[in-house]
């Protein structure tokens, strides 16, 4: 709204008073500063649905990819870059992460770590070989098909958001969710990931507390 008013003001001057004047609002920097912020909301996939998706995925490679996003909060690109060298029991090393840091660490449940290591030593001939040597598009299609099994439209990032929301609803402090699970630089980014509470989820919590 502020940008539109300013732009209209300077356009009025140019069109009616001084044809040689310029409109500073035409600057890309000004447009970026004053552009309207659109609040993005996502529908969070509930735990029961995620569990069913994972349980019904029989291909070991695909199941591990889904679990690393849903249980470890990983981005699909981070999963696909993993090599045998990056796996150290429950700690996974992310090289050249999105944050720009030299590296980051992901922590995963022990049972998942055991299955990941077992799969990795089977498919990797060398320590630097990728554990999941498929393209992003192939992974995205796999995730979409996994969602169709339970009748939902599923995208890779939905599983990362699920990891954050489930942790939040389980009582994990937001600082842990932000710094450990999602590895965000600030809490405001993490808060946008956390989904709204459905009526079913609200009733479940009330029953757990007071029922």
Question: Considering the chain, what is the average pLDDT of its residues?
Answer: 83
Q: What is the pLDDT of residue 201?
A: 64
Comparing 204 with 146, which gets the higher pLDDT? 146
Residue 93 and residue 137 in contact, taking contact as beta carbons nearer than 8 Å: no
The per-residue pLDDT for range 129-168, each reduced to its tens digit, is: 999 999 999 999 999 999 999 999 999 999 999 998 888 8
pTM, to two decimals: 0.71
Torsion angle, alpha carbons of 42, 53, 149, 62, to 10: 100
> What whole-number distance in Å separates Cα of residue 185 and Cα of residue 182?
9
> What whole-number distance in Å separates Cα of residue 55 and Cα of residue 104?
29
Radius of gyration of the chain (CA): 23
Q: Which residue has the tokens 């055991």?
A: 114
The per-residue pLDDT for range 6-57, each reduced to its tens digit, is: 677 667 677 777 777 777 766 776 666 666 555 555 678 899 999 999 999 9
Among the ranges 13-17, 104-108, 185-189, which has the highest mean pLDDT value? 104-108
Kindly report, as residue ranges, where domains of CATH 1.10.443.10 are found in the chain: 47-210
CATH class entry, domain 47-210 = mainly alpha
């Amino acid at each position: 709204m502020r940008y539109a008013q300013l732009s209209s003001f300077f356009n009025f001057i140019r069109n009616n008073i001084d044809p040689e004047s310029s409109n500073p609002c035409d600057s890309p920097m000004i447009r970026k500063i004053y552009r309207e912020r659109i609040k993005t909301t996502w529908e969070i996939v509930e735990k029961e649905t995620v569990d069913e998706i994972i349980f019904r995925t029989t291909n070991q490679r695909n199941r591990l990819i889904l679990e690393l996003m849903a249980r470890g909060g990983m981005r699909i690109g981070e999963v696909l870059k993993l090599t045998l060298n990056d796996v150290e029991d429950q700690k996974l090393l992310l090289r050249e992460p999105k944050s720009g840091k030299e590296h980051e660490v992901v922590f995963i449940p022990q049972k998942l770590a055991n299955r990941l290591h077992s799969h990795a030593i089977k498919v990797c001939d060398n320590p630097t070989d990728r554990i999941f040597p498929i393209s992003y598009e192939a992974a995205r299609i796999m995730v979409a098909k996994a969602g169709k099994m339970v009748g939902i439209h599923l995208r890779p990032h939905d599983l990362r958001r699920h990891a954050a929301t489930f942790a939040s609803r389980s009582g994990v402090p937001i600082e842990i969710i932000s710094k450990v699970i999602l590895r965000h630089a600030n809490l405001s980014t993490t808060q946008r990931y956390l989904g709204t509470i459905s009526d079913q989820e609200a009733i479940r919590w009330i029953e757990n507390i007071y029922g």
